[in-house]
Structure 1
Amino acid sequence: MSGNTLGKLFCVTNFGESHGPAIGCVVDGCPPGLALSAEDIQVELDRRRPGTSRHVTQRQEADQVEILSGVYEGVTTGTPIGLLIRNTDARSKDYSNITDTFRPGHADYAYWSRYGVRDPRGGGRSSARLTAPTVAAGAIAKKWLREQHGVQVRGYMSQLGDIRIPFTSWAHVPENPFYAPDAAIVPELETYMDALRRDGDSIGARIEVIAEGVPAGWGEPLYDRLDADIAHAMMGLNAVKGVSIGAGFESIAQRGSEHGDEITPEGFLSNNAGGVLGGISSGQAVTVSLAIKPTSSIRVERRSIDRAGNPVMVQTLGRHDPCVGIRATPIAESLLALVLIDHALRWRSQCLDVSERP
């Protein structure tokens, strides 16, 4: 099965299934000499971990990471880093009623159409469970970017369903399960999610991710543009149906006199470009916005077909996120960090000796 590796110089190959014995990844191309421990990775995994509040899946996974290779005496060696996360709380029997049917809006039908076989246990390879290795790899990327270039990658939820969340302070983001930047709105979000869970339904969300401290010059023209690679990586996150950079779709209604970010000796006066011009970083913050669709595994009965093409009614039991966007923030941060470290290494390999810089 192709399509499991992200990156060119900093390459992450993801493996495993939702209800298999373990999931994990191999990180190849990490520069040597980076101080790295399991604790460095675990702090990020704990942010994504299931079962941390009543608003997410109650699957109880410790998500304890094991470093199998690539680290010696506390530092990376430059060789492939093997990361393993064991599955300990899979309940495959919960999926017995959908073995021969397809959940509307889920990858079930598409996987079966392509491969002629699928693993129905928790969605198999299409499960959001496979984002845990992404976060583990992203922890390494975040650490290197922060220590080598002072880059900080962080995100927050800006909308849950039809509730828009105002940005008040970054300090509020880690203090609630929604990654909401406004503490005052959290009770409203909790009430909304409680009602949604009682209905057995799901909802979408909008996530904002920002990388500050990115120097000018990262990225490549045309097909390997920095923003193109960001969009490519973000669309690899389960349930993402839209990615915008900077002003995004709002730029449709902007005039050129408004959208074009004016430059002064002190810097840019705005950031409609989202920190990327012509596929190359401008030195401003890289800003990305994601649209997350509603979870397709819900208790509400819906029409579908079985493998023989007969009409059926489908209801999904088991433990699921009523809004996958609630745990998406650390995943989106990791994906942005993975793209940035890959482009940082590409810049270093080709343009390190370039001296003419503004």
Structure 2
Amino acid sequence: MSGNTFGTLFAVTNFGESHGPAIGCVIDGCPPGMALSEADIQGDLDRRRPGTSRHVTQRNEPDAVQILSGVYEGKTTGTPIALLIQNTDQRSKDYGQIAQQFRPGHADFTYWKKYGIRDPRGGGRSSARLTAPMVAAGAVAKKWLFEKYGTVFRGCMAQIGDIEIPFERWEHVPNNPFFAPVADVSRLEAYMDTLRKAGDSCGARIRVTASKVPVGLGEPLFDKMDADIAWAMMGINAVKGVEIGAGFASVTQRGTTHGDSIRPDGFDSNNAGGTLGGITTGQDLEVSIAIKPTSSIISPRQSVDIHNQPVEVVTKGRHDPCVGIRATPIAEAMLALVVMEHALRNRAQCGDVVGAPDPGQSTAEGTSPQASFL
């Protein structure tokens, strides 16, 4: 099976299955000399891990990360960093009934057709559990980028089902199980309780940003920053759409408003989402992703078995009624991995280039479109 490595200069090879002994990744290309410990990684894994509230799957995995290589006396050595996460709370028996059936909305059918064999336990290799190693790798990238450039990655839920969530403050995000940027989430809790009782699921929209991104990352043709961001986000399980900056709202905008005017003290707006011609502008990277409703639900649905006979499928086990609830740290991690890859490319190719004055960074809150030129 190919397609398990993300990146070239900062290459992350993902391994494991949902119900195997462990999952993890190997990071190749992390610069040497950075202080790194499990504690630097565990915080983001704790944000993503299951069993943290009644609104997500009750699979109780501690997701404790182990650094097996690549760190000596507390610092990265430049050699491959192996990260391991043990699976401790598998219930493989929950999937015995569907071993011969294809669950609607899942990769069961395509996986079986492609490989002629599949691991039905929790989706095996196609499980969203395999996002945990990417979150771990993203934490390493975040740390290096923050220490090198001051880059900060943040995300929040912007919509769940048909409820749009207004943006109030970033400070609210870590204080509720929805990663919502609002103080009161009672309406969201009631919505999810009703959905769970109905045996159904819903989708979500997640916003993720990166502030203090260096100017000049990305290439003008096939390795555009925004193209690589879209590719990375579409690699997250259940993501069905990606917007950069104004995204699909660009369709109804006029050129007089969509184009971000530039003044001596910076940009007037950020409809471009932090990139122009595939190259970063120094403004915040602004990304939104659309996540489909969870496919694993207890409501009966029609499908076929491996003999192409009609069956009624009921997916038992422990599942998120909205997989988007835990997607915020995943989206942050994937954005960090893209920025890290391009930062290393730019350092290798253009590290000695002395260019024109660069646009400065946007504000810490990320809400002001104004940037200053240095």
Distance 1:172 1:122 in 2: 32
Map 1:161-172; keep pairs closer than 5 Å. Answer: 161-172=161-172
Asked if 1:315 corresponds to 2:307, the answer is no
* Alpha-carbon separation, structure 2, partners of 1:270 and 1:52: 38
Question: Could you tell me how far apart the structure 2 residues matched to 1:313 and 1:356 are?
Answer: 63
Measured against aligned partners, the alpha-carbon deviations of 1:284-318 in whole angstroms (never above 9, x if no partner) come to 10000000000101000000000010011000000
**What CA distance in whole angstroms lies between the structure 2 residues aligned with 1:292 and 1:74?**
38
Partner secondary structure for residue 217 of structure 1: coil
Which residue identity is paired with 2:304? Answer: I
2:234 maps to a residue whose letter is M
The DSSP-based 3-state class of the residue aligned with 2:222 is: helix
Task: Kindly report which structure 2 residues correspond to 1:114-153, keeping only aligned pairs within 5 A, or say none.
Answer: 114-153=114-153
CA–CA distance in structure 1, aligned partners of residues 100 and 356 of structure 2: 60
Question: Deviation digits for residues 201-221 of structure 1, max 9, x if unmatched?
Answer: 110000000000002100012
1:224 partner SS: coil
Q: Which letter does structure 2 place at the counterpart of 1:335?
A: M
Q: Does 1:200 align with 2:214?
A: no
Distance in 1 separating the partners of 2:118 and 2:189? 35
Distance 2:238 2:141 in 1: 23
Q: Could you say which residue in structure 1 is the equivalent of 2:362?
A: none
SS in 2 for 1:24: strand
Provide the rounded CA distance (Å) in 2 between the counterparts of 1:70 and 1:84: 13
Task: Extract unaligned runs of 5+ from structure 2.
Answer: 358-374
User: Counterpart amino acid of 1:280?
Assistant: I
- 1:1-358 maps to which residues of 2 (within 5 A)? 1-184=1-184, 186-358=185-357
User: How far does residue 199 in structure 1 lie from its aligned partner after superposition?
Assistant: 1.1
- Distance in 1, Cα, partners of 2:53 & 2:240: 25
Segments of structure 1 that go 5 or more residues without pairing to the other structure are none
Cα offset, 1:118, TM superposition = 0.6
Distance in 2 separating the partners of 1:306 and 1:135: 34
Distance of 2:323 and 2:304 partners within structure 1: 25
Deviation per residue, 1:6-42 (Å, 9 max, x gap): 1110000100000000000000000001100001000
Could you tell me how far apart the structure 2 residues matched to 1:278 and 1:112 are? 40
How many angstroms apart in 1 are the aligned matches of 2:196 and 2:340? 38
Q: Which amino acid aligns with 1:62?
A: P
The letter for the 2-side match of 1:98 is I
Matched to 1:276, the amino acid is T
- Aligned-partner SS, 1:83: strand
The structural deviation recorded for 1:357 is: 2.4
C-alpha separation between the residues in 2 aligned to 1:357 and 1:191?
53
| AA of the residue aligned to 1:225 | K
Counterparts of 1:319 and 1:4, CA distance in 2: 26
| Number of residue-to-residue matches in the alignment | 357
2:361 matched residue in structure 1: none
By how many angstroms is 1:353 displaced?
Answer: 1.0
Structure 1: how far apart are the matches of 2:229 and 2:167? Answer: 23
Determine the C-alpha separation between the residues in 2 that align with 1:65 and 1:85.
5
Q: Distance in 2 between matches of 1:218 and 1:191?
A: 43
Identity of aligned residues (%): 71
Alpha-carbon distance in 1 for matches of 2:74, 2:273: 36
**Separation in 2 of the partners of 1:36 and 1:44?**
14
- The amino acid of 2:42's aligned partner reads Q
What amino acid is aligned across from residue 213 of structure 1 in structure 2? K
The code of the aligned residue for 1:332 comes to A
Question: 2 CA distance for matches of 1:126 and 1:223?
Answer: 27
Separation of aligned partners in 2, 1:356 and 1:170: 34
| Aligned residue in 1 for 2:363 | none
Indicate the SS of the match to 1:222. Answer: coil
Tell me by how many angstroms 1:200 deviates.
1.2
Question: TM-score of the superposition, structure 2-length normalised?
Answer: 0.95
4+ runs deviating over 3 angstroms: none
CA drift at 1:45: 0.4
What does the per-residue CA deviation read over 1:221-265, in whole Å, with 9 as the maximum and x for residues that have no partner?
211111111011101100000001000000011111111000001
Cα distance in structure 2, aligned partners of 1:356 and 1:318: 57
Partner of 1:41: helix, strand, or coil?
helix
